[in-house]
A and B are shown apart, each in its own frame.
Chain A
Amino acid sequence: MTEGMVSEWFIADGDEVKQGELLYALETEKINLDVDADASGIVRHSIETGVNLAPGDVVGYIYEPGEVIPETLQAIPASAAEPAADLPQGIAVSSRMPVTAATEPSGRLKSSPAARRLAGELGIDFTVLAGTGPGGRIVEADVVLASSRTESVKASPLARRLAEQRGIDLSTVVGSGPGGRIVQADLDGIKKQSVAKVAAVQATAGQVIPLKGMRKTIAQRMHQSLQESAQLSMDMLASMGDAVNMRTQLLKEWQGEARPTYTDFVVKAAAKALLVHPQMNSVFAPTGITLVESINIGIAVAVEEGLMVPVVRNADKLTLKDIAIETARLASGARDGTLNLDDYAGGTFTLSALGMFGVDSFTPIINQPQSGILGINRIFDGLTWDQDKPVKTKQMNLSLTWDHRVIDGAPAAEFLATVVELLSEPYRLLV
């Protein structure tokens, strides 16, 4: 890490702390950590909350009982702040920026009155919806679509209410009830999550959002990535009919054990494709391009303050079911802040999904020092041609950004074609 700050002292200056008790909250550019006291004694703060710190800075002291506590603290290089010093690298962010759908320069959302009324009735935050009307205007159909997405999670009325009360995102919960329904018991033990509301960063005009913590990291890293590498993007259309059917069947088959998402399908497909196209699984440095042996796929997860990219390790060696279980753990862990630093480290390729917002194409930004990032878009009813007859079929656009310093267009397209082929023949993802 390069900097951090104490965002909260849990033990007041001069109060007593017991070993293992929560002492302070450390907010770094990548992660927020609650730090426990290493010893028991009287706590003296050296710095106040909100002061920027470098690794190794002393945040305070714990005095043993009976020890003379100096009136003025001396600047002794101590180890109290060490937990911060060894934060691993590898946490980064993709281009998944807060969406402010169809915002006009004035900041006003374009939306139809009917859409606003329906959104109000259904309790849907329409400001996070992607508008499909003229000029990106949010229309009633967009709200209906959003509500059907929420409803498509099977859960008992009680589970729905408890999830709402406890702030749990039901789409991250595995249901154990009849037909894979989420029941009360499935929510036990799940802590309050900060539901991924992109709207959390909505600001009123004139307000200044301080550039700190995760926001600052995102700003720095995204800008740095675009400045330092030669990024370009391309889209390719995948036929998803079989994947949609297979997912429906797998939801039944793995009922109570795992809930595969389309992102899980893409994790598996990308991992298989990276095995065949190892240059996409590489790290660029001025000295040379290192092909990385293990395939660790990061997944951008929106959290209240921004986004986190937990990593599915050795994704090529995991079955689709294992991936589904692991991504569910990572997604909910990222939201409620229970993941380890290890869960964020070592990514070699990243996925970023915006399909749930109705996005059909975007240009994700590479998570440095990786060489590629794949954007997952909306699944929609597309057309293919059977002889000269149009046939309705499920399709999804995939948006690949890659680093031209590492890979040229042709091999990048070959990689993307492999992913697309695997998704259109999804039974190959089961082997």
Chain B
Amino acid sequence: MNEFDIMVIGGGPGGYAAAIRASQLGLTVALAEREALGGTCLNWGCIPTKSLLHSAELLRNISHAGQLGISVGEVHFDLAAMVNESRSAANQLSQGVQHLMKKNKVTVFTGEAVIKSPGLVQIDEQEILADNIIVATGASARSLGNIQPDGNRIWGAREAMTPGFLPGKLLIVGAGAIGVEFASFYATLSTEVTLLEVASQILPVEDAEIAELAMAAFRQQGIEILTSCSLENLQADEQVVRASIGGEIREFDAVILSVGVKANLSGSGIDKLGVKLLDGFIEVDDVQRTNLPGIFAIGDVTGGPCLAHKATHEAMIVAEEIAGLKTHPVQKSRVPGCTYSHPQIASIGLKESDLKDRPYKVGRFPLYANGKAVVTQQTEGLVKTLFDADSGELLGAHLIGDGVTELIHGFALAIGHEATEESLIQTIFPHPTLSEAMHESVLNAFGRTLHL
């Protein structure tokens, strides 16, 4: 019988990172994955969609190349080739994870791992003993009532990133990050997109001002956006999807359901062991411990924000906890979030609406006043910062505009180190870069803007 210090169930960005870190700390580690290493993020989420969005971005830039003095002929695109490229990026990275497992001497089992009891896992016919079990089984798309993706014209995220055809008219239900990214991708390929959101704003987790700016930008690109609006009924046949929205029947070539995720609980069998749940996700303490002895959980299966980097961070905590090191719990207000639409949205910390009962300062700096944005003609956007008026603590940062997903880590670092406005103001940002807009936003909050 195989015996390990740690058995990790799930090979996504939580699971494989936990395996690597635990191995670095001298523990013997096994990892079970039923599909491909890298999990949803790498195979069916972050990575392939970013590949598609990169294709779309290039297409958009090439179409606008004339403004920068480059004449191109008529521009064509090949959707199937874009999808192939995204698949090969996913495969390449998945193989990279395989290599990492080998390099770190992690024993990988392919198959569904079922926890029989604390300390005992079964994979097919094999029984594996492990003092510690880490459940990192992730989450999968929620269905909308009895409406399920059928792979034909009703799509979930997987179908939406491997489409068999380019829909002329597309309905996207749910305007969270995933829905918005698909809206952006398909709109760039000239699909007529309708984006439906039950909440009063698109990107409901984002700052209202930023969501408003995003909505205006998307509308300008021709995306139809319906907020405070729900899908009443949906019927699909071989030819068309009929959706009932606001009492009206409308026809689409396809529909994408992106209405959130639910924890993957049943595969690992942890749901049968009496694990404690919170809102349908596994409840864990500061060091990712479940209520079951020797069983930990990390990543999406423990609830939101369902983001790969949160899972990876929790992976470090759990591995270090098991190895007996001192750890620091995840502070959810310090997890940045990114949406890779056009324009991009990135944020961290509190929103302005969270600050009602405390004195705060807000800084705003529009990208049209940033030199680098002007030369790249990406002047649409805003950097918004929020500070505690008394202590100068950076409470939140909310960015919209192309390239901002590569900027947000600067504010993540600042918030993580509890920087005050003083440290940010004292920092020298390089010129000419988009990052100067971050500096200016901070200056603006304290009445010191230079370029407005």
* A residues whose Cβ falls under 8 Å from a Cβ of B: 156-159, 161-162, 165, 176-178, 183-184, 255-256
Contacts and interface: CB of A to CB of B under 8 A. Distances in A.
Given A162-B391, A165-B390, A184-B393, A157 B419 contact: yes
Contacts of A256: 326
Contacts of A159: 418
Contact of B418 (A165, A176, A183): A183
Chain B's interface: helix, strand, loop or mixed, by majority?
loop
Interface of B: 326, 328, 390-393, 417-420, 422-423
Contact of B393 (A158, A176, A177, A178): A158
B390 A184 contact: no
Nearest to B423: A157
Contacts of B392: 158, 161
Nearest to A183: B418
A157 B417 contact: yes
Given A165-B390, A165-B391, A184-B393, A158 B328 contact: no
Contacts, number: 31
A158 B418 contact: yes
Given A165-B390, A165-B391, A157 B326 contact: no
With most chain A CB atoms within 10 A of its CB, the pick from B326, B392, B420 is B326
Contacts of B419: 156-158
B420 A157 contact: yes
Contacts of B422: 157, 161
Nearest to A180: B326
| Most chain B beta carbons < 10 A, residue from A158, A162, A178 | A158
Contacts of A157: 417-420, 422-423
Contacts of A158: 391-393, 418-420
A156 B328 CA distance: 15
26 contacts: A156-B417, A156-B418, A156-B419, A157-B417, A157-B419, A157-B420, A157-B423, A158-B391, A158-B392, A158-B418, A158-B419, A158-B420, A159-B418, A161-B391, A161-B392, A161-B420, A162-B391, A165-B390, A165-B391, A176-B328, A177-B328, A178-B328, A183-B418, A184-B418, A255-B326, A256-B326
Shortest 7 CB-CB contacts between residues of A and residues of B: A156-B418, A158-B418, A157-B420, A158-B393, A157-B423, A157-B419, A158-B420
A249 to B, nearest CB: 14
B390 to A, nearest CB: 7
Contacts of B417: 156-157
Given A157-B418, A157-B420, 20 more contacts: A156-B417, A156-B419, A157-B417, A157-B419, A157-B422, A158-B392, A158-B393, A158-B418, A158-B419, A158-B420, A159-B418, A161-B391, A161-B392, A161-B422, A162-B391, A165-B390, A165-B391, A178-B328, A184-B418, A255-B326
Nearest to A256: B326
A320 to B, nearest CB: 18
Nearest to A257: B326
Nearest to B415: A158
B277 to A, nearest CB: 27
B156 to A, nearest CB: 39
A254 to B, nearest CB: 9
Contacts of A177: 328
A58 B422 CA distance: 54
Nearest to B419: A157
Nearest to A159: B418
